[in-house]
Amino acid sequence: MPLAGKRILLVMSGGIAAYKSLDLIRRLRERGAEVRPVMTAGAQQFVTPLAVGALSAGHVYTDLFSREDEQDVGHIRLARDCDLVVVAPATADLMAKMANGLADDLASTVLLASDRPVLLAPAMNPKMWAHPATRRNVATLRGDGLAFIGPNAGEMAEGGEAGLGRMAEPLEIVAAVEGLLDGGARPLAGRKAVVTSGPTHEPIDPVRYIANRSSGRQGHAIAAALARLGAEVTLVSGPVTLGDPPGVTVVKVERAEEMLQAVLAALPADIAVMVAAVADWRVATPNTEKIKKQPGEGPPPLMLAENPDILKTVGHHAKRPKVVVGFAAETQDVESNGRVKLQKKGADLIVANDVSPETGIMGGTRNSVKLITAGGVEQWPDLSKDDVAGRLAGWIAERLT
Ligand code: C5P
């Protein structure tokens, strides 16, 4: 029972994703957690306090001015008598209130009065998530030290629209809860890490670019795993459709050159894990205007220039982190190519994998890797990318202790 004895205050605000919070309550409780729900008036429009109370097997708190509730625990005790506050779904409205310190109902008052760690699982329409006001509020809340899980990309419940805004799945939220509560095993506390993830987009003109099939799943999972072990992680990510991992500072870039600058800005660090599928070449001089088809002229030639090798730069840098890890995505001679890369890039470890299309690794959720170090080669079994990340974070922690 990984969450045995843990007390979680679950704040639910008003969004259709509230139905997933019912499952979240079940998942938390089956892991041994005690869940105390607080619902906003909006949340009660989507699921009933009766259903929430039945699943949580306890009282559901809804009203700031309820004499009965105040006599029971009182809003200040409600705010503090827990190990973690989870806000799921976290609507744009509730986040705006939190970012500004408003306290006009029980949920927002409890959040303002709490001194416990807070995990937010946002859920809203993609346009609302992308709105500058929400961006500002999220930045403020991150700056206040609140953790986020999701939102994920996908279809909206209302249909017809897709994009970032779907609430993280209950089990993803549970994993983030476990990570945040796992105060016992934080061997990387006080360590700084920089991780690259995703593809890079190299512009051809303002609307076209060169890219690759990297999803960012492995890199994002590694950033999350290092953070769970207590590291202060900067994740430099190319364009991906994944949500930001909880407890990680994310720097979003497009081009390899931007990625290099962001990585160098994150030094000094103790750990560098370069997972991004950086484009080897960029278009030497991207057109400032959209290239037009010219009748009779045929396709325009693309002159390429070599991109900086970020891993190699970090591996040979004056501020080289103590542990430098690179990835080698190969379609042949995985081991020998990995060894050459270890040397050339100045890495301590190359995590090599076969990305031949039939393996389904590139863009998929599983990975089968070989660990190549100066000491030899270790084959890991077929694992989920999350499990590879967890084991790799453990391997790194061991090197540093
Ligand atoms: O040389 P190759 O691209 O196969 O090396 C893969 C490793 O090097 C990965 O860790 C990748 O993140 C890193 N890399 C980099 N900058 C590049 C090319 C690769 O950091 N321009």
Query: Is any atom of ligand 1 closer than 6 Å to the C-beta of 263?
Result: no
- List Cα–Cα distances, 157 to 31, 72, 126, 163, 174, in angstroms: 28, 37, 11, 11, 22
373 membership: H or E segment, kind and range? strand 369-373
Sign of the Cα pseudo-torsion (40, 42, 48, 54, in order): negative
> Measured from the CB, is residue 276 less than 6 Å from ligand 1?
yes
pLDDT attached to residue 228: 82
Q: What backbone torsions phi and psi does residue 296 show, to the nearest 5 degrees?
A: 80, -5
C-beta 307 within 6 A of ligand 1: yes
Give yes or no for a contact between 253 and 278, defined as CB atoms under 8 angstroms apart: no
Q: What is the distance in A from the centroid of ligand 1 to the CA of 361? A: 17
Annotated ligand binding at 64? The verdict is: no
CA distance linking residue 190 with residue 179, whole number of Å: 16
At residue 67, the pLDDT reads: 83
Query: How far is the centre of ligand 1, averaged over its atoms, from the C-alpha of 289 (Å)?
Result: 30
Distance 395 CA to ligand 1 centre (A): 20
Tell me if 167 CB under 6 Å of ligand 1. Answer: no
- Block mean pLDDT (10 aa), the chain, length 401: 93 96 97 97 97 96 86 84 96 97 96 93 95 89 82 78 89 90 73 98 97 94 90 97 91 98 98 97 96 91 96 98 95 90 97 82 79 91 86 87 73
Output the pTM of the full model: 0.62
Render 336-357 in DSSP notation, one character per residue.
Answer: HHHHHHHHHHT-SEEEEEE--G
- For the sheet with 323-330, list strands across it: 249-252, 232-237, 192-197, 271-274, 323-330, 349-354, 369-373, 376-379
Report the pLDDT value the prediction gives residue 16, as an integer from 0 to 100: 95
Ligand-binding site membership of 319 (annotated): no
Dist. CA 387–CA 381, nearest whole Å: 10
Helix (H) or strand (E) holding 325: strand 323-330
| Residue numbers annotated as active site | 212
- Give the ligand 1 atom nearest the CA of 276: 12
351 close to ligand 1 (CB < 6 Angstrom): no
Q: 355 C-alpha vs ligand 1 centroid, how far in Å?
A: 14
Q: To 10 degrees, the CA torsion angle through 281, 284, 288, 290?
A: -60
Which of 212, 259, 278, 327 has most ligand 1 atoms within 8 Å of CB, for mutation? 278
Structure tokens at 366: 């599983």
Distances (CA, A) of 336 to 251, 333, 347, 369, 376: 33, 6, 15, 14, 11
Q: Is residue 87 within 6 Å of ligand 1 at its C-beta? A: no
Assess whether the C-beta atom of 218 lies below 6 angstroms from ligand 1: no
**329 Cα–ligand 1 center, Å:** 9
Measured CA to CA in angstroms, residue 306 lies from 38, 70, 239 at distances of: 55, 66, 20
Distance in angstroms (rounded) separating the CA atoms of residues 37 and 40? 10
- 327 CA distance to ligand 1 middle (Å): 7
Structure tokens at 234: 């900067």
- What pLDDT shows up at residue 165? 93
Tokens of 227: 């953070």
Cβ atoms of 399 and 325 within 8 Å: the answer is no
Domains and CATH numbers, the chain: 7-181 (3.40.50.1950), 192-400 (3.40.50.10300)
* Cα–Cα distance for residue pair 3/171, rounded to 1 Å: 13
Q: How many residues does the chain have?
A: 401
With contact defined as beta carbons under 8 Å apart, do 116 and 83 qualify? yes
* Coil, helix or strand at residue 218: helix
Q: What is the pLDDT of residue 185?
A: 54
252 annotated to a ligand binding site = no
Q: Does the annotation flag 117 for ligand binding?
A: no
Q: Which of 222, 253, 261, 345 to mutate to test the pocket of ligand 1 (most atoms within 8 A of CB)?
A: 345
Tell whether residue 83 is among the known ligand binding residues. no
pLDDT at 366: 80
Contact 196, 216 (CB under 8 A): no
pLDDT for the residue numbered 184: 45
Give DSSP secondary structure letters for 158-212. TSS-EEEEEPPPHHHHHHHHHHHH-TT--TTTT-EEEEEESB--EESSSS-EE--
Considering only CA atoms, which of 298, 297, 175, 306 is closest in space to residue 247?
A: 175
CA 327 to ligand 1: nearest atom = 10
Sheet holding 118-122, edge to edge: 34-39, 7-12, 84-90, 118-122, 147-148
Which of 281, 327, 335, when mutated, tests ligand 1's pocket best, judged by the most ligand atoms within 8 Å of its CB? 327
Strands 249-252 and 202-203: what pairing? unpaired
